[in-house]
Amino acid sequence: MMTKRPLITVCVPVYNTASYIRQCIESVLAQEFKDWILLVSDNCSTDGTWEILQEFQHPQIRLFRQSQNIGPNANWNFLLEKVETDYFCFLGSDDYFYPNHLANKVRLLELHPQAPFVHGPADFVDETGKPIPKPPESPLPLTEQSRSVLQGLLAQNYINITSVVFRKASLNALGLKVDRRLRFFGDWHLYVELALFHPYILFDCQTTAVYRIHAMSDARQNIRSFAWAMEAQDHLLASLAEHPGEWKSLGFDTLAESKRLTERRWVLALKQAANGQFGNANQAWRGFRKFHTASDIIKDIPRYIRYRLQLSAAKRRQAL
């Protein structure tokens, strides 16, 4: 029986990961840092995941099961609303932690009370647990200044959610939850909003978490989809539009950034039209025309041709 409030909550949203859920839960049980509580919400799995979860009878584990599938972001928010600790993190039910994960991240957040979250590198494995090689990563400073963080996040989501531990008070102060308007990038949007309103975030140079890439993951199934491409830009455009003063105070030109984010949407519109997806094509074209004139396409065509030629050459090299 737990006699005091733990320091950190591990939130595990679950759906149909019977093959991986044991390793996920066992990695939390194996943490060197013991002052945690684990909340698991099964989103109406149909593959035996719930039955496996019930094997874990432990005073620091609380299991919840949704009566119907409420969608991934709603499931994340269900867990987030139950967090009563100073810190929390999300752990994908197909991912896992190394034993030093919570100890490292909590120590850094305790030392830097202004930081809203800490992140770090993660190892990648496939569905069998075999390591996936990663390209070399540039080292980051312990304290990443917000302007630098936002410059990176405007280009890509370089932060791996499996490595992140959040300070709950930072989200509470801004009224932040996982944005239900977003299907794929709720975590990316959180990083942007938190960096925008805090002076810096933290980077732990030690690799303490493992992210699994497999055929059934949401990312693998949707990464080439139209919805994925649009949402990756739309949530950034929304932040630029909703918080222009904060972006400008950090030296960003919100109109210039919006133009840069949408400059290739005419290409996306053409591709959708070529595939007969005229509704998608119209949506992408409207997104382009909101920030650009039609004549901007002419300026972009030479660069697009060079890109296509480089892509074709790379494919030919791969085929050899």
Q: State whether 233 and 184 are in the same domain.
A: no
Q: State whether 189 and 171 are in the same domain.
A: yes
| pTM of the complete model | 0.89
pLDDT tens digits, one per residue of 136-150? 888 899 999 999 999
Q: State whether 51 and 105 are in the same domain.
A: yes
Give the span between the Cα atoms of 119 and 162, in whole angstroms: 8
List of the chain residues with pLDDT < 70: 1-3, 300, 303-304, 306-311, 313-315, 318-320
Sheet of 117-119, strands arranged across: 61-65, 36-42, 8-14, 87-90, 165-167, 117-119, 200-203, 143-145
Give the span between the Cα atoms of 105 and 100, in whole angstroms: 9
Give the span between the Cα atoms of 235 and 147, in whole angstroms: 18
Give the range of the structural domain holding residue 107, as residue numbers without chain letter: 8-222
Give the span between the Cα atoms of 132 and 188, in whole angstroms: 23
CA-wise closest residue to 197 among 155, 246, 156:
246
* pLDDT for position 123: 96
Phi–psi pair at 210, nearest 5 degrees: -130, 125
The structural domain count of the chain equals: 2
* pLDDT for position 266: 85
Across all residues in the chain, what is the average pLDDT?
92
Q: Is residue 3 part of a domain?
A: no
Q: State whether 111 and 213 are in the same domain.
A: yes
* pLDDT for position 178: 93
Residues in CB range of 286: below 8 A, 6 or more apart = none
Q: State whether 176 and 267 are in the same domain.
A: no
Domain end: 181, 200, 222, which one?
222
